[in-house]
């Protein structure tokens, strides 16, 4: 009998340990990482080698915030679990749909959620605003469930809100099941789409303020509790101003980082790093690589100058068959970006290619597209702009021919 009880006890302990490990999230903080040492090592390596650093993370991406251009990618379109970086979407749903001053009473379900926690108990009362700080700073899974229940009635209802928002943002390779990101095979995103979501979220001033906060005190039942941001790069790496950490066994270590230096503003995402040190090192190395090799180029002036030169050289080449005029006033569609990030090795490989017909049949209506302009870097077309005419050129009719004949006859008589 004692032997059976002993075996059952061991099995119970094993199950409990497995449950804790499987549901862990952002509990890798006991792993101490010397961020300053990693920053120094990255700086030293980049001085001797400008090539892309060796990376541990399974998927990575760096995008320019102004254009969403990918500056570096590794498996950036591969679907992966994303752990607590999920909470970026959770926060956006709350910020766009809820009153931050509302007071939430914590349910038994929320209080019993495992993994990283704000430390809520059944019946606790806390504002939506403070739950957001608990969600994004200390990555509280209990705060995530409390917010989901508050905004979506239950987790399924909140997941519907998350997926609808993902659809609206055209995140076609992203799907949410939970508000916290604990492992689920149907809960996934890609590094690139997570970067796009983060870029969108950072346009919300309250979200940007929270994720840039290093320390904060929340009020639970009238008592204050101090929180520390889990983002190990915030306050250490030059220019970092957010965004979110993540860790589960299925997702491994994840980190989304926003960094701005001068006029280059980027988001770096690393997913699936083996250790916290790996995700820190990969993030630092990618960020430093991009800032060492990319710069923002004033492409608006380049495009406008090339287009004006082309227009001045070609405006008299147009022929409008049976048109009342051959004068085509051309205009370029709006340039999407004033500046564009360019790798320094390709600064001399920027070119403009203009394609247009010169012969058209009347009538040629206003705003008809008559050609295109390609903006090219290193033989790759970055974007294409339309060239259109600004005025309608009407087709000649019988009255035009009579008028023309009469005018020519009068001129003949005057010269006779």
On whether the CB atoms of residues 267 and 243 are closer than 8 A, the answer is yes
CB-CB neighbours of 220 under 10 Å: 19
Write the CB contacts of 215 (distance below 8 Å, at least 6 apart in sequence): 226, 227, 228, 229
Domains detected in the chain: 13-294 (3.40.710.10), 315-398 (2.60.410.10)
- The predicted model gives 101-110 an average pLDDT of 95
Give me the helix-helix angle, 128-136 and 87-97, nearest 10°: 160
DSSP labels, 96-149: HHS-TT-EEEPPHHHHT--SS-----TT-EEEHHHHHHHHHTS--HHHHHHHHH
For strand 294-298 and strand 240-248, is the pairing parallel, antiparallel, or unpaired? Answer: unpaired
Peptide bond into 363 cis (omega under 30): yes
- Please, which pLDDT band fits residue 179 given cuts at 50, 70 and 90? very high
- Please, which pLDDT band fits residue 50 given cuts at 50, 70 and 90? low
What is residue 90's predicted lDDT score, i.e. its pLDDT?
Answer: 97
% the chain with pLDDT above 70: 83
Structure-model confidence comparison of residues 165 and 368, the more confident one:
165
pLDDT value at 9 more than 70: no
Strand-pair partners of 374:
353, 384
Write the CB contacts of 221 (distance below 8 Å, at least 6 apart in sequence): 124, 125, 126
- The predicted model gives 201-208 an average pLDDT of 98
- Report the catalytic residues: 84, 87, 139
Query: What average pLDDT does the structure give for the chain?
Result: 87
H helix count then E strand count, the chain: 12, 17
Which of 52-56, 109-113, 324-328 holds the top average pLDDT? 109-113
For 356-403, the pLDDT digits (tens) are 988 888 888 899 898 999 999 999 999 999 999 988 888 765 555 445
pTM: 0.83
Q: What angle do CA 282, 288, 293 make, to 5 degrees?
A: 125
């Amino acid at each position: 009998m004692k032997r059976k009880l002993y075996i059952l006890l061991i099995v119970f302990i094993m199950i409990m340990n497995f449950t804790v490990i499987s549901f862990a999230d952002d509990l890798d903080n006991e792993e101490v990482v010397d961020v300053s040492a990693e920053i120094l090592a990255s700086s030293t390596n980049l001085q001797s080698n400008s090539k892309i650093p060796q990376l541990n993370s399974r998927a990575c991406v760096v995008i320019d915030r102004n254009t969403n251009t990918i500056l570096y990618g590794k498996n950036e379109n591969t679907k992966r679990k994303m752990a607590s970086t999920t909470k970026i979407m959770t926060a956006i749903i709350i910020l766009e749909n809820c009153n931050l001053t509302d007071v939430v009473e914590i349910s038994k379900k929320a209080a019993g959620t495992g993994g990283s926690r704000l430390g809520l108990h059944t019946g606790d009362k806390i504002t939506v605003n403070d739950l957001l700080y608990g969600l994004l700073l200390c990555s509280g899974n209990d705060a995530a469930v409390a917010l989901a229940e508050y905004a979506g009635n239950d987790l399924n209802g909140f997941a519907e809100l998350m997926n609808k928002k993902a659809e609206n943002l055209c995140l076609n390779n992203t799907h949410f099941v939970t508000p916290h990101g604990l492992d689920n095979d149907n809960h996934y995103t890609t590094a690139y789409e997570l970067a796009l979501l983060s870029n969108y979220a950072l346009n919300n001033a309250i979200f940007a303020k929270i994720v840039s906060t290093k320390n904060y005190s929340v009020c639970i039942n009238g008592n204050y509790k101090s929180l520390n941001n889990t983002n190990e790069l915030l306050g250490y790496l030059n220019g970092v101003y957010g965004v979110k950490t993540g860790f589960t066994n299925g997702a491994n270590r994840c980190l989304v980082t926003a960094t701005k230096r001068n006029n280059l503003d980027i988001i770096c995402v690393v997913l699936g790093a083996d250790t916290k040190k790996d995700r820190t090192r990969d993030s630092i190395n990618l960020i430093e690589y991009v800032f060492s090799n990319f710069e923002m180029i004033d492409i608006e002036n380049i495009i406008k100058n090339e287009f004006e030169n082309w227009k001045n050289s070609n405006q008299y080449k147009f022929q409008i068959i049976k048109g009342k005029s051959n004068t085509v006033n051309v205009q370029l569609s709006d340039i999407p970006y004033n500046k564009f990030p360019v790798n320094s090795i390709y600064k001399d490989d920027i070119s403009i290619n203009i394609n247009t017909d010169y012969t058209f049949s009347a009538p040629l209506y206003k705003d008809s597209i008559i050609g295109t302009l390609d903006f090219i870097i290193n033989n790759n077309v970055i974007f294409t702009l339309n060239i259109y005419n600004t005025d309608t050129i009407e087709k000649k009719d019988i009255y035009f021919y009579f008028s023309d004949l009469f005018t020519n006859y009068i001129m003949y008589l005057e010269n006779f």
